[in-house]
Chain A
Amino acid sequence: MRKGRAISTFAAAALLSIGLAGQASAQTIKIGVNEPLTGPFAASGTYVVNGAKIAADEINAKGGLLGKKVELVIEDNKSNPTEAAAVAEKLITADKVPVIMGAWGSSLTLAVMPKLLEYKVPMVVETSSSGKITTSGNTYIFRISPPSAVEAAAFKDILPKLHMKKVDFLVINNDWGRGAADDFGKVLKGEGIGVGLVETMDQSAQDMSAQLSKIKGTDSDTIMVTTAVEQLTLLLKQAAALGIKKRIVTTGGSQNPDQLIDQAGTAANGTYHLTTFAPWYPDQTPDPTATKYFLGEWKKRGFNFAGATESFRGYDGIRTIAKGIEKAGKAEPEAITKALWDVDFTGLNGKIKFQKQGPAGKESGQSMPNVYLIQIDNGKVILPKL
Chain B
Amino acid sequence: MIEFLQHVINALILGSTYALLGIGLTLIFGIMRVVNFAHGELYAFGAYCVYLVSVLMGLNFFFSILVAILAGCLLGALIEVILLRPMRNADIDTTMLVMIGAMIVMQNGEQYIWGGVAKSVNTPFPEAPFVIGPFSVSSLSLFVFFAALLLIGVAYFLINRTKLGKAMRATFQDRDTASLMGINIQRIYMATFAIGSSLAAAAGALLGPVYVVSPLMGNIASLKAFAIVILGGLGSIGGATIGGFMLAFAEEIGAGYISSGYRDAMGFLIIIAVLLVKPTGLFARSERIG
Contacts and interface: CB of A to CB of B under 8 A. Distances in A.
Contacts of B260: 199-201, 210-211, 214
Given A241-B129, A265-B127, A213 B6 contact: yes
Contact of B136 (A43, A199, A205, A242): A242
A202 B264 contact: yes
A40 B128 CA distance: 27
Given A217-B3, A265-B127, A42 B136 contact: no
Contacts of B128: 266
A39 interface: yes
Interface stretch (B71-79, B112-120, B193-201): B112-120
Interface string A119-153: 00000000000000000000000000000000000
Interface string A257-299: 0000001011100000000000000000000000000000000
Interface string B114-148: 01111010000001110100001110010000000
Interface residues of B, number: 38
B58 interface: no
A240 B3 contact: no
A206 B138 contact: no
A266 B10 contact: no
A210 B211 contact: no
B213 to A, nearest CB: 11
B92 to A, nearest CB: 29
B142 to A, nearest CB: 10
A42 B127 contact: no
A356 to B, nearest CB: 34
Contact of A216 (B3, B14, B127, B263): B3
B289 interface: no
Interface residues of A, number: 37
Nearest to B255: A210
Nearest to B266: A210
Contacts of B10: 207, 209-210, 213
Contacts of B216: 38-40, 204
Interface in A9-56: 37-40, 42-43, 46
A40 B117 CA distance: 8
Interface string A215-259: 011000000000000100110011011110000000000000000
B252 A210 contact: yes
A216 B137 CA distance: 13
A210 B118 contact: no
A242 B116 CA distance: 29
A257 to B, nearest CB: 15
Given A39-B216, A43-B117, A46-B117, A214 B256 contact: yes
A363 interface: no
Nearest to A76: B116
B83 interface: no
A200 B264 CA distance: 12
A240 B212 contact: no
Nearest to B13: A209
Nearest to B17: A207
Given A213-B3, A216-B3, A241-B141, A266 B116 contact: no
Interface string B213-239: 011110010000000000000000000
A346 interface: no
Contacts of A265: 127
A198 to B, nearest CB: 9
Contacts of B214: 42, 230
Given A206-B211, A210-B10, A265-B127, A38 B3 contact: no
A80 to B, nearest CB: 10
A234 B212 contact: yes
B127 A240 contact: yes
5 contacts: A43-B118, A201-B263, A210-B254, A234-B211, A238-B138
List the 5 closest A-B pairs by CB distance, nearest first. Answer: A38-B116, A241-B138, A243-B136, A210-B255, A42-B116
Interface of A: 37-40, 42-43, 46, 76, 173, 199-202, 204-207, 209-211, 213-214, 216-217, 230, 233-234, 237-238, 240-243, 263, 265-267
Given A210-B7, A210-B255, A242-B136, 10 more contacts: A39-B216, A206-B220, A207-B211, A209-B252, A210-B253, A213-B3, A230-B212, A237-B138, A243-B131, A265-B127
